[in-house]
Amino acid sequence: MWRPHTTRIVAYATAGVIVLGMVVLAVVLAPRFQLFDRAMIVLSGLFIAWILHMLARCRVVAADTGLTVVNAFRTRRLAWAEVLDAGMTVGEPWPTLDLADGTSLGAMGIQGSERARAARQLAELQALLKQRSEAPDPS
């Protein structure tokens, strides 16, 4: 399984600070606002935390049957034969998987901002793709 490290730490820490800040704000502002207003302040903090969680949950999981790519708001399961290649040029935020149907899919679970880690994870994924996509020798 490949997943970002720094992105998860930053997203969850930020979510915690935002939720805590919104709860404190709702309590401190209690005399000025109605209960509904304070609840909406807390709910907006929880909504932002949910969005950050969706960004932090990104990953790429390899199994015997294929790859599962979990991006922010979509999960896609791919058989090994469906994935032709994975590549990431300098400056891209994450690798792109080239699919057999002619489309491509971003793999947000490998973050380009983590340069050395991303290069290692991409090399591991490419090696696994090469190993799994090769047809067995008929002899």
pLDDT in tens, 8-53: 999 999 999 999 999 999 998 877 889 999 999 999 999 999 999 9
- Which DSSP string do the residues of 16-50 spell out, in sequence order? HHHHHHHHHHHHHTTTTS-HHHHHHHHHHHHHHHH
Task: Tell whether 36 and 12 lie within a shared domain.
Answer: yes
What is the largest distance, in Å, between two alpha-carbon atoms of the chain? Answer: 81
Query: Would you say residue 139 has pLDDT above 70?
Result: no
pTM for the predicted model, two decimal places? 0.84
Task: Tell whether 20 and 78 lie within a shared domain.
Answer: no
pLDDT of residue 138: 52
112 part of a folded domain: yes
Task: Tell whether 90 and 52 lie within a shared domain.
Answer: no
User: Domain span at residue 20?
Assistant: 6-56
Task: Tell whether 100 and 112 lie within a shared domain.
Answer: yes
pLDDT of residue 94: 94
SS3 74: coil
Over residues 58-104, the pLDDT tens digits come to 999 999 999 999 999 999 999 999 999 999 988 899 999 999 999 99
